[in-house]
Amino acid sequence: MEFWQWAQGYDEGFRYGQMTTNLVKEINAVLLKTRHLPISSIFSATFYRLATLMPKMGQQQVNQMEAGHVFVKHVRDAIIANRRMARLMNVEVYSQCNETFCVTETISCQSSIPPRSYGVDLRNRRYDCRRFQTLHYPYAHVVAACAKVSLNVDQFIDEVYTLELTLCVWENEFPVLPDLSTWKVPRTTFELIPDKGLRRNSKGRPQSSRIRNEMDIREKSDGKLCGVCRLAGHNRSKCLL
């Protein structure tokens, strides 16, 4: 896997300058209940689960396109929710070309934040809350501004959310692996010799291999003391008291 496919430092701006989860972390959901399996089983689970996930997700994109949808379900649901919130906002037009607006909330979208006013710039696709620039699809304030001047909000949704582009991702196919018995395994040119020093002693008391530090150092003591006079050199049965 190339650096630009998983590290933000080499993505050349493909992630819009935002910190996102690495691609390596995205397949964790595919590898559930496999973390304690042998490495060969983890490899098989990774391969076969991803191989079956590709056609399944690809068919979902095709079904949505046949139903007449243009954008992915996540964006469609977000636009519906944003239109619902946009009804609770007042919009003032600040430009003759209907490109800049001041949107004031009558009821806050979040209960912990009081109602606020935000500036919306449709020409440069900017919005004071920065969600428009970050998510690249209209938030509630942008939807309210578009509704004020009867603009189609779909034109401000980035093309990366179209089903046509997401289908290109899921069109990739995994090759079918041949049966293990037909694999051609080259002969080994070396011999593996176990390290006898790492073997566990079969007899005697087991020895701890833990690395000791200053917490394991015990203070020097005077040895065993008498339980009666608390002096060293004898015990309770030989005490003169």
Residue spans per domain, the chain: 3-69+167-174, 73-156
Lowest mean pLDDT among 9-18, 61-70, 75-84, 178-187: 9-18
The answer on pLDDT for 79 being more than 90 is: yes
Give backbone dihedrals phi and psi of 66, rounded to 5 degrees, phi first.
-65, -25
The answer on pLDDT for 178 being more than 60 is: yes
For the stretch 170-173, contacts whose Cβ atoms lie closer than 8 Å and that sit 24 or more positions apart, written own/partner, are: 170/54, 170/55, 170/57, 170/58, 170/61, 171/54, 171/58, 172/54, 173/51, 173/54, 173/55
The two three-digit tokens of residue 225, written as one number: 């003391």
Instruction: Categorize the per-residue pLDDT at 110 as very low, low, confident or very high, splitting at 50, 70 and 90.
Output: low
Average per-residue pLDDT for the chain: 82
Lowest mean pLDDT among 76-80, 122-126, 197-201: 197-201
Predicted TM-score (pTM) of the model is 0.61
Residue with token string 């694999």: 183
**Interval 213-227 mean pLDDT:** 74
Give me the pLDDT at residue 162, please. 94
The 3-state DSSP class for residue 92 equals: strand
Give me the pLDDT at residue 6, please. 64
Query: What does the CA dihedral 197, 200, 203, 204 come to, rounded to 10 degrees?
Result: 90
Contacts of 30 (CB under 8 A, 6+ apart): 46, 49, 50, 53
Q: In angstroms, how far is the first alpha carbon of the chain from the final one?
A: 81
Lowest mean pLDDT among 113-122, 150-159, 216-225: 216-225
8 Å CB contact between 120 and 142: yes
Give me the pLDDT at residue 163, please. 94
| C-alpha angle 38-39-40 in degrees, rounded to nearest 5 | 90
